[in-house]
Structure 1
Amino acid sequence: MRGLGELVAHAVRAARTRQASWVLFSDASSTPAARHLIRAQLADWGYDEQSEVAELLVSELVTNALLHGWGEPLLTLSSQGDMLRCEVEDENPVLLRAEEEPGNDEGGRGLLLVDLLSRSWGTGHTRRGRVGKVVWFELSTRSTGPVF
């Protein structure tokens, strides 16, 4: 049985959880649209400081979903406590790891950027009855200074 303190802590965490989702078009217009959506949502939540890195990483995930996925990508941004989480879902169930991403001078480094600039990231199969994969990253909402 949970104690009152544990229940109150759970209720406070749940109350601080925010989420926004958008279904994107399955064409190149979705990458700049995703950056705009993320920038606007982070400003609305008061996380302007995380906007630059979040926009860059969202661009990478949406571009990968458009190049390697199927269907209309689903972009989800959530905030809980000191963590932001961004997910991009597509309808291709094949998971692509960073070391398998096609590499050449023109591209193929997107997931490596996600790995370097995020607090954590990963891939998985979609939930909510949708067949496909989700690629996600997390950023801290705490000011930690420059990443570089």
Structure 2
Amino acid sequence: MARAVRATRIQRASWTLSPDISSTPIARHLVRAQLTDWGYDGESDIAELLVSELVTNALLHGRGVPVITLSFREGTLRCEVEDENPALLQVREEPDNDENGRGLLLVDMLSRSWGTDRTRAGRPGKAVWFELPAHPAYQAS
């Protein structure tokens, strides 16, 4: 008896940003445009907010140029922001003040899951990522 095997389609987009604060609104625009292109009908506002937090964090506390990778697979939207600082991040239980320390708390509260990983060989640093449930209205061709 033959079994049907369903291929899993992964959609992926990646961008290298400049290492200055003007990259944060550019990152939000890139994410919104890509989600629109993929037909994402979920919470794109949340994805934009969270990518904004991760990019800003990479620009203020990371090293090198940030790289964003957005992927969609089996109902999950994943966003990774890489930088060249190898120090892994942790959520602060209580932010220092009104200006600092709230970004990762937002990521923690609004995402399905999040974390940090070391980057692949050949690129020192870390990737901070989050995942959101996502249901595109159609499959991009």
TM-based fold match above 0.5: yes
Tell me which moved more, 46-55 or 84-93: 46-55
* TM-score normalised over the length of structure 2: 0.89
Structure (1/2) with the larger helix percentage: 1
2:48 to 38, 52, 55: 55
Distance in 2 (CA, whole Å) between partners of 1:101 and 1:69 is 21
Distance in 2 (CA, whole Å) between partners of 1:46 and 1:127 is 30
In structure 1, the residue matched to 2:104 is 111
Unaligned runs of 5+ in 2: 137-141
- The answer to whether the 8 A contact 2:40-2:135 is kept is no
| Counterpart AA for 1:32 | P
User: In the superposition, relative to structure 1, how do residues 5 and 110 fare at CA in structure 2: closer, same or farther (>3 Å)?
Assistant: farther
Bigger RCO (CA 8 Å, 6+ sep):
2
| Counterpart AA for 2:104 | L
Give the match's secondary structure for 1:99: coil
In structure 2, the residue matched to 1:82 is 75
Percent sequence identity over matched residues? 66
1:26 equivalent in alignment to 2:24: no
CA positional deviation for 1:48: 4.0
Unaligned runs of 5+ in 1: 144-148
- The answer to whether the 8 A contact 1:39-1:48 is kept is no
- The answer to whether the 8 A contact 1:101-1:111 is kept is no
Deviations 1:31-76 (A, max 9, x none): 0000000000000001143210000000000000001100100000
- The answer to whether the 8 A contact 2:83-2:125 is kept is yes
